[in-house]
């Protein structure tokens, strides 16, 4: 049952990531860093913080939502590709900025999610 739940939640998370990424990219103005995945990862970290603060004691539910949905919604691999692509384009400042905002933003967002419900 847990595996099926992870598959379903992961499917929902990945589709939501794709859809939201497309929406953000379509409205993208003149950002010098990949704002779509940055926004998604920060939102996902905040959501996971909220979910963590709920302190769900059912391990299956925690795995399905935490690993399935949030694991598929957020994406470290795409962040890595985009950061390296900026470096390959010799846009070192943008890559460092993107990396710093992603890492700090996700940590702060996760903490805010926990703090909000604690």
Distance in angstroms (rounded) separating the CA atoms of residues 108 and 94: 20
Phi-psi region of 90 (alpha: psi -120 to 50; beta: other; left: phi over 0): left
74 is in an annotated binding site: yes
Phi-psi region of 18 (alpha: psi -120 to 50; beta: other; left: phi over 0): alpha
Q: Which residues of 55-65 are buried (b: 16+ CB within 10 A; e: fewer)?
A: eeeeeeebbbb
DSSP 32: S
Q: Where is the binding site, in residues?
A: 71, 74
What residues form the annotated binding site for Na(+)? 71, 74
């Amino acid at each position: 049952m847990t595996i099926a739940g992870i598959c379903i939640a992961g499917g929902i998370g990945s589709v939501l990531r794709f859809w939201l990424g497309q929406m953000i990219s379509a409205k993208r103005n003149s950002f010098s860093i990949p704002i779509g995945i940055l926004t998604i990862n920060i939102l996902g970290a905040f959501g996971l913080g909220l979910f963590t603060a709920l302190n769900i004691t059912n391990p299956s539910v925690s795995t399905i939502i935490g690993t399935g949905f949030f694991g598929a919604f957020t994406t470290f691999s795409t962040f890595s590709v985009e950061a390296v692509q900026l470096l390959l384009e010799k846009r070192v400042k943008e890559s460092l900025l993107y990396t710093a905002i992603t890492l700090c933003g996700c940590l702060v967002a996760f903490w805010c999610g926990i703090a909000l419900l604690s």
